[in-house]
Each structure stands twice: as C-alpha cells, then as structure tokens.
Amino acid sequence: AARPPATRRSAPVNPLELRTEAERALFQRIAANVERDRIARSRVTVFFVGTPLLKKPEAVDAEAVAKLVAQVQPSVLMPALSDPNTVLMSDTRQTNAFVCQPQHRNMQDRIFGGLLMRRAYELAFATAFLFCGSKPQFIEVDRVEFRAPVEVTGRVT
C-alpha cells in the first residue's frame, strides 16, 4: 500500500503493465491464491479466545469436548498427579516486551514490520527451545497479518 507520510492515507498506485503471457499467467495464479485466502479467512469463526475454528460453535461435538475436559482436568486440578511429560498450553505462554526505538522506524514513522516479525520469531524459538530441550527447526511461516501500526516509542508486548 502506498501511504504518503503527510496524510498517512491510501494513495493511488500505478497499475501493473503485464506485457508477456507468462506475466499474465503468474498474475492470474497469484490473484486466485489471494482470493482463495480471502474466502478461507471469511469462514474462520472465533470460538475460544484466539482459537480459530472452521466450524460454527453450534457444530462442535459436545461429547468430544467433554472427553477432552475429562482428560485435562486432573492436570489442572492436581498437577502433581498428572503425567510428567504433559504440559498444559497455558504453561507454555511466554511474553516479551521491548520499547521501539527511532532507528526501527519505516518511512511512515511507524515501526518496521520486519522487526516485529523477527521479534516474534525469536520469542517462538525461545519458547520452543524451553519446552523441547533442543534447538527447534524453523520450517515456514504461513501468513503474517499486522492488525495495527506500532508507533515509535510505543510499547509492544
């Protein structure tokens, strides 16, 4: 997106000039992928906080949920009696806070998204290492969405 620093609003961008058949085919393939992703995102429903589900909440199998709760309940209520190799998801949460400095800004005086992605990767790596006990192997990132810009001197947690 083009955003002039003065207005910080969207600005028109010159359209691509597709000159060859290969460029047109590539553009159509990418446009189809973008549309497929947009449709997939529109089907996601948030059921539990932060947990995306592709099913509507009323379609969740109550018996399966009760079975999962019964399996986890001893670990929650009596952690000393639970399987020593079991770790609750809530116990794997790690946080990291840092103050964004002026050298981290982009041309719009916001924090560069690459810095935020690197910090998220470093936190994920540290969390995985903490619970695996060995160096994790990074395979891929599917999609990164920035929900709001981060101002310089803003606090990110």
User: Looking at the whole model, is its pTM more than 0.75?
Assistant: no
User: φ and ψ at 8, to 5 degrees?
Assistant: 55, 25
CA triplet 102, 108, 110: central angle to 5 degrees? 45
CA distance 140 to 40: 19
Which tokens hold the place of 26?
């590539």
Among 99, 95, 104, CA closest to 124: 95
pLDDT reading at 112 higher than 80 = yes
pLDDT digits (tens, 9 = 90+) for 50-109: 455 555 555 567 788 788 888 788 777 887 777 777 777 777 778 888 888 888 888 888
Residue whose pair of structure tokens reads 């050298």 in the numeric block: 103
**One-letter amino acid identity for 8?**
R
Averaged confidence pLDDT in the chain: 80
pLDDT reading at 139 higher than 80 = yes
CA distance 122 to 6: 34
pLDDT digits (tens, 9 = 90+) for 124-138: 898 888 888 889 988
pLDDT reading at 38 higher than 90 = no
